[in-house]
Amino acid sequence: MSDRTEFRDLADPERARDVVASLDLSAGSERVPLEDARGRVLAERVDATLDVPGFDRAAMDGYAVRAPDTYGADDAPVTLPVVGSVHAGETPDVSLDAGEIAEISTGAVMPEGADAVVIVERTEEVTAESDDGAGSDDDRRVRIETAVTPGENVMLAGADIAAGERALGPGTSLTPREIGLLSALGVDEVPVRAKPRVAIVSTGDELVRPGGDLDSRAGQIYDVNSYAIATAVEEAGGDPVVYPHVGDDMDAMERTLVDAAADCDLVLTSGSTSASTVDVVYRVIEEQGDLLLHGVAIKPGKPMLVGRIGGDEGSGDGAESSGAAYVGLPGYPVSALTIFRTFVAPAVRSAVGLPDPRTARVDGSMVQRVRSEEGRRRLLAVGLVEDAAGETLVYPVDKGSGATTTLTAADGVVDVPADTNAVASGEQVTVDLFSPDVCPPTLLGVGEDDPALSRLLDGLDRPRYLARGSRGGLRQLRDGLPDVAVVAGPFDAESEGVADAVELGGCSREWGLVVPDGNPAGVEGLADLVDQDLSFVNRGTESGLRTSLSNALADLADERGTERRAVTDAISGFELAARAFESPARSVAAGDADAGLGLRATASKLGLGFVSVGTQSVRVLANPDRTEKASVSELEEALGDVSDVLDGLHGFESE
């Protein structure tokens, strides 16, 4: 009778996949230098600790001006004296008084007193003599042919990304785009998921390492699998450790596999998995661990083993060890790589947070109309999101060529031909992905930026959030783009066109005026902004905080029997707003403002004073067509109990 171990009942591929997926390959986290972070996956959220850019800078070549000095120039050009120039990379040595301008280069710091830039194409330099018949050639004057508004052609501090803003979340794959953003933030060390160490042991007396002497007549072959599988492990995100190949000897096999299990998170063998008298790996696994599966109903690749090895006896120094996961691959290279790619690579990628790879091109439907300039070919940066039916939707991502976040928020590009003036909403487009492993986010949210929301997103798998303010969130929800919109402060669902949106939950937050520690100006409320000579930093009109402030100022105007405009005009800095929720507070902390619109939580975080004005709700609204998406259901469940999320956030309360 032959001494042969027959295959156990062959597992179907789905069960084999589940068994491999159940193996714990996680290796924890580690910090790596930024230069070594490409291809790694963030283990923690990274927030911006500074504004990018860190100063108001010119977005175009031209002349820095005080915007009011240009009013009416469209009808009657104005001529103003040039009192200096500012170039990129230098500290301005000029400041502007009323009626003065300065020549400025793209990227240069805006000089004190200036709040806008007139592009050079809308100006004409003239001499004093050509203008009024007298004067000196040294008296430079420029005719301005267009009016500008405060902030026009200026990239405000924090316009790319603002201090305190969620920059990148846990689970983000670090490509050159994300590395660029981290560089812009000054990050030199990154918390990433550690790569699982994967031992690779090829088995068989017939194997010879490449470079060695081969005796083909004796049936020897070069060891293909050690190198091929090591490359596949690295491609999947693991750290391959290649061991010397082992012959068909029970004792040698046992020593090698037990040693490998003590040093690695996963042990892979190739060969010695079939049911013959010399194939002993499965016996080692049964004696030194736990054999979970022997054989899978797939071709090629039937002889596959799955289990755990080592750890039963501890580590030898009194510490307990759970050993390592184990997968035995077939000996034939094609079979070995097929089984690895089909069953093992997804588990390795999952351990390090990498998504399953996809094709380099995908087709989808454009969610909103995008205008394009005829005569110029355009590579439109776009993001992807899947609807409830799994269909791919495409949306434009464009914050300007100077913004690094344009690419980090995008998944690929749509090539818009030069003879096209627009891509219509609903039009089918082909997206060239930035890399084959790009996948749409599991959840796409748009709306108010909020510290509690950032914490909430940390618990979800690969979400993407576009901080476009409450009004932007409502607008995008009405257009059908996001899975959810986050809205802070009062809003009317019917008038906003989102009456059918499904409310998933939310919280409340205390808002008001952030002031220096100790409140040296003695600010007591909004009336002091109007009545005292205080500098103020506001939020943008898309922000829910701005809406609540405007409503409160309207009430103040009613109390005083005056118009709201009269109240807002009396507040220094009301119109020129900061982008993100921490920006006004950070201006106060830097001594650049007496007060800023913000949250109690932000003031507490930065060690600043706070004058409460009121509370506002923060609501998460679901797209009615996406409520069946797994990620939306997961978010709704998380919103059911936000006590842990709100812990330590002063001024926040669950509702």
State the CATH number of the domain containing residue 82: 2.170.190.11
Q: Is residue 439 packed enough to be buried (19+ CB in 10 Å), middle (13-18) or exposed (0-12)?
A: middle
Most confidently modeled range among 90-99, 124-133, 280-289: 90-99
User: Which pLDDT score, from 0 to 100, does residue 143 have?
Assistant: 97
Answer yes or no: do 76 and 65 share one domain.
Answer: yes
Q: Who wins on pLDDT, 33 or 8?
A: 33
User: Which pLDDT score, from 0 to 100, does residue 279 have?
Assistant: 61
What's the CATH code of the domain at 220?
3.40.980.10
Q: Who wins on pLDDT, 202 or 230?
A: 230
What whole-number distance in Å separates Cα of residue 277 and Cα of residue 6? 10
C-alpha closest to that of 579 among 117, 46, 48, 163: 163
What whole-number distance in Å separates Cα of residue 63 and Cα of residue 464? 38
Q: Residue 129 above 70 pLDDT?
A: no
* Mean pLDDT score across all residues of the chain: 88
Q: Who wins on pLDDT, 338 or 625?
A: 625
What whole-number distance in Å separates Cα of residue 5 and Cα of residue 1? 12
What whole-number distance in Å separates Cα of residue 230 and Cα of residue 394? 37
Residue 466 φ/ψ, nearest 5 degrees: -105, 110
Question: CB neighbours of 215 closer than 8 A, spacing ≥ 6?
Answer: none
Q: What is the pTM of this model?
A: 0.74
Q: Residue 200 above 70 pLDDT?
A: yes
What whole-number distance in Å separates Cα of residue 126 and Cα of residue 130? 6
Q: Residue 166 above 80 pLDDT?
A: yes
Q: Is residue 632 part of a domain?
A: yes
Answer yes or no: do 207 and 127 share one domain.
Answer: no
- Please work out, in degrees rounded to the nearest 5, the angle formed at the alpha carbon of residue 534 by the alpha carbons of 566 and 165: 100
Boundary (domain end) residue, out of 415, 440, 465: 440
What whole-number distance in Å separates Cα of residue 64 and Cα of residue 109? 10
Answer yes or no: do 138 and 93 share one domain.
Answer: yes
Average pLDDT on 491-501 reads: 94
Q: Is residue 175 part of a domain?
A: yes
Q: Is residue 482 part of a domain?
A: yes
C-alpha closest to that of 628 among 502, 537, 529: 502
> Alpha-carbon dihedral of residues 245, 250, 256, 259, nearest 10 degrees?
170
User: Which pLDDT score, from 0 to 100, does residue 298 have?
Assistant: 74
191 pLDDT band (50/70/90 cuts)?
A: very high
Q: Residue 1 above 90 pLDDT?
A: no
Are residues 297 and 284 in contact, defined by beta-carbon separation less than 8 angstroms? no
Q: Residue 148 above 70 pLDDT?
A: yes
User: Which pLDDT score, from 0 to 100, does residue 304 have?
Assistant: 87
Q: Who wins on pLDDT, 132 or 513?
A: 513
- Please work out, in degrees rounded to the nearest 5, the angle formed at the alpha carbon of residue 205 by the alpha carbons of 260 and 275: 80
Q: Residue 157 above 50 pLDDT?
A: yes
What's the CATH code of the domain at 609?
3.40.190
What whole-number distance in Å separates Cα of residue 327 and Cα of residue 305? 5
Are residues 486 and 445 in contact, defined by beta-carbon separation less than 8 angstroms? yes
Q: Indicate the SS3 state at residue 229.
A: helix
pLDDT above 70: percentage of residues in the chain: 92
Q: Residue 523 above 90 pLDDT?
A: yes
> How does pLDDT run across 298-347, given as a tens digit for each residue?
776 778 899 999 865 444 444 445 689 999 988 888 778 888 988 999 99
359 pLDDT band (50/70/90 cuts)?
A: low
Side chain identity, residue 611: V
Q: What does DSSP say about strands 305-309 and 370-371: parallel, antiparallel, or unpaired? A: unpaired
Cα dist from 331 to 219, 274, 302, 343, 636, whole Å: 15, 9, 11, 16, 47
Tell me the sheet residues that pair with 460. none
User: Which pLDDT score, from 0 to 100, does residue 358 have?
Assistant: 65
Boundary (domain end) residue, out of 324, 352, 380: 352
Q: Residue 56 above 90 pLDDT?
A: yes
Answer yes or no: do 248 and 180 share one domain.
Answer: no
What whole-number distance in Å separates Cα of residue 120 and Cα of residue 60? 8
User: Which pLDDT score, from 0 to 100, does residue 274 have?
Assistant: 53
Q: What does DSSP say about strands 266-270 and 207-208: parallel, antiparallel, or unpaired? A: unpaired
What is the CB-side half-sphere exposure of residue 357 using CA atoms within 13 A? 11
- The one-character DSSP state at 357 is P
User: Which pLDDT score, from 0 to 100, does residue 333 have?
Assistant: 81
Q: Residue 281 above 50 pLDDT?
A: yes
Residue 566 φ/ψ, nearest 5 degrees: -65, -35
> How does pLDDT run across 571-624, given as a tens digit for each residue?
999 987 887 889 999 999 999 999 999 999 999 999 999 999 999 999 999 999
Rounded to 10°, the helix 345-352/13-21 angle is 30
- Residue reference for tokens 């002993």: 280
What's the CATH code of the domain at 48?
3.90.105.10
Question: Omega into 300 within 30° of 0, i.e. cis?
Answer: yes
Answer yes or no: do 620 and 485 share one domain.
Answer: yes
User: Which pLDDT score, from 0 to 100, does residue 8 have?
Assistant: 53
Q: Residue 403 above 80 pLDDT?
A: no
User: Which pLDDT score, from 0 to 100, does residue 135 have?
Assistant: 43
Are residues 214 and 222 in contact, defined by beta-carbon separation less than 8 angstroms? yes
627 pLDDT band (50/70/90 cuts)?
A: very high
Q: Residue 402 above 70 pLDDT?
A: no
Q: Residue 130 above 50 pLDDT?
A: no
Joined tokens for residue 500:
């059918």
Q: Is residue 259 part of a domain?
A: yes
Question: CB neighbours of 477 closer than 8 A, spacing ≥ 6?
Answer: 446, 485, 498, 501, 621, 623
Are residues 476 and 468 in contact, defined by beta-carbon separation less than 8 angstroms? yes
User: Which pLDDT score, from 0 to 100, does residue 209 have?
Assistant: 76
What whole-number distance in Å separates Cα of residue 482 and Cα of residue 395? 10
Q: Is residue 320 part of a domain?
A: yes
Are residues 492 and 637 in contact, defined by beta-carbon separation less than 8 angstroms? no
Q: Residue 180 above 90 pLDDT?
A: yes
What's the CATH code of the domain at 371?
2.40.340.10
Give the strand order in the sheet containing 239-242: 239-242, 197-202, 266-270, 324-329, 305-309, 289-294
C-alpha closest to that of 632 among 621, 647, 616, 644: 621
Answer yes or no: do 241 and 131 share one domain.
Answer: no
Q: Which of 22-26, 74-78, 556-560 has the lowest mean pLDDT?
A: 22-26
User: Which pLDDT score, from 0 to 100, does residue 210 have?
Assistant: 75
Side chain identity, residue 157: A
Answer yes or no: do 611 and 462 share one domain.
Answer: yes
Q: Is residue 4 part of a domain?
A: no
Q: Residue 368 above 50 pLDDT?
A: yes
Answer yes or no: do 574 and 645 share one domain.
Answer: yes
Answer yes or no: do 187 and 297 share one domain.
Answer: no
Q: Is residue 319 packed enough to be buried (19+ CB in 10 Å), middle (13-18) or exposed (0-12)?
A: exposed
Question: CB neighbours of 340 closer than 8 A, spacing ≥ 6?
Answer: 229, 232, 233, 268, 329
Side chain identity, residue 586: R
Q: Is residue 584 part of a domain?
A: yes
pLDDT above 90: percentage of residues in the chain: 66
Domain of residue 62: give its range: 57-155
What whole-number distance in Å separates Cα of residue 364 and Cα of residue 431? 7
Q: Residue 196 above 80 pLDDT?
A: yes
Domain count, the chain: 5
Answer yes or no: do 614 and 469 share one domain.
Answer: yes
219 pLDDT band (50/70/90 cuts)?
A: confident
Q: Is residue 7 part of a domain?
A: no
363 pLDDT band (50/70/90 cuts)?
A: very high
Which H/E stretch holds residue 393? strand 392-396
Boundary (domain end) residue, out of 440, 470, 486: 440
Average pLDDT on 41-48 reads: 94
Q: Indicate the SS3 state at residue 293.
A: strand
Q: Residue 428 above 90 pLDDT?
A: yes
Joined tokens for residue 433:
């992905």
Q: What does DSSP say about strands 536-539 and 595-599: parallel, antiparallel, or unpaired? A: parallel
Answer yes or no: do 20 and 34 share one domain.
Answer: no
Answer yes or no: do 203 and 275 share one domain.
Answer: yes
